[in-house]
Amino acid sequence: MCTAFEQDLTQTQHRCITAIYNRETMDQLYTLRLNYPEQQYDNHIYKDSITHAASIELFVRGIHCSQSSANTLVFNNERDVTYAGLLLCADSAYTVEQL
């Protein structure tokens, strides 16, 4: 049987552990790289435009991401990056790779 002080201490410890866990997992980012065909490898404007169009397609479907380079998209959680990979893999302009 726990005393009221021990129960308060246990609840406080639980809140601290939860806060630490949330802070650690919030900092984790998930990345998809869109691999373009060799003939488009040096065409950064093409890659940037198609990658941006992919991010807009995801946004319309409720998936938020950031474009960190001409061929990469960054997500805040694993669910979004997985769903995005499934949606984008149907496009013939590139292949999708999760980093």
> What's the CATH number where 79 sits?
3.30.70.260
pLDDT at 34: 95
What span, in angstroms and rounded, lies between the C-alpha atoms of 87 and 39? 24
Q: What is the DSSP letter of 90?
A: T
Q: Are the C-beta atoms of residues 88 and 96 closer than 8 Å to each other? A: yes
Structural domains in the chain (count) = 1
Identity of residue 77: N
Q: Within a domain: residue 21?
A: no
Residue 87 in tokens: 């949606």
Q: Which residue has the higher pLDDT, 8 or 54?
A: 54
pLDDT at 46: 92
Structural domain includes residue 14: no
- Say if 4 falls within a structural domain: no
Report which DSSP code applies to 94. Answer: -
Cα 91 from Cα 88, distance rounded (Å) = 6
Q: What is the pLDDT of residue 43?
A: 87
Indicate whether 8 pLDDT > 60: no
Mean predicted confidence (pLDDT) in 6-29: 53
Domain assignment present for 71: yes
pLDDT, one tens digit per residue, over 35-52 is 999 887 788 899 999 999
